[in-house]
Amino acid sequence: QKEVEQNSGPLSVPEGAIASLNCTYSDRGSQSFFWYRQYSGKSPELIMFIYSNGDKEDGRFTAQLNKASQYVSLLIRDSQPSDSATYLCAVKSSGSARQLTFGSGTQLTVLP
């Protein structure tokens, strides 16, 4: 069973809209949650991380975490065509090991 699930997409939004990307995880002991953006042919780039329940904002990006529901999301406000990429949700479980478990990614296309 996949431990980190993302809405499979692809997801298309018009330029200027809000893109909502969702992720659920199965390990209740998970401590840290990361969102990466990956452009085609490139390596993943860290966008945001969140450790505590609630919202965390960074520019146009907002990460939301609900540990009780085992749910983490990423909102992208004022979406731009340059935001078109695959977004990967990653989860770090409890313990000292720094292994991340990744979801399969959601492909986002922002239409001009």
Partner 1 sequence: KAGVTQTPRYLIKTRGQQVTLSCSPISGHRSVSWYQQTPGQGLQFLFEYFSETQRNKGNFPGRFSGRQFSNSRSEMNVSTLELGDSALYLCASFDSYNEQFFGPGTRLTVL
Q: Which is nearer to partner 1, 31 or 80 (by Cβ)?
A: 31
- Decide: helix, strand or coil at residue 79: coil
Q: Strand pairing partners for 71? A: 24, 66
The least CB distance from residue 39 to partner 1, in Å, is: 12
Question: Which of 66, 98, 103, 81 is closest to 15 using CA atoms?
Answer: 81
Query: By the 8 A CB rule, do 36 and 74 touch?
Result: no
Separation CA 83–CA 97 (nearest Å): 31
The least CB distance from residue 86 to partner 1, in Å, is: 10
Q: Which is nearer to partner 1, 65 or 92 (by Cβ)?
A: 92
The footprint of partner 1 (CB under 8 A) covers 32, 34, 36, 42-46, 49, 88, 90, 92, 96-105
The least CB distance from residue 108 to partner 1, in Å, is: 16
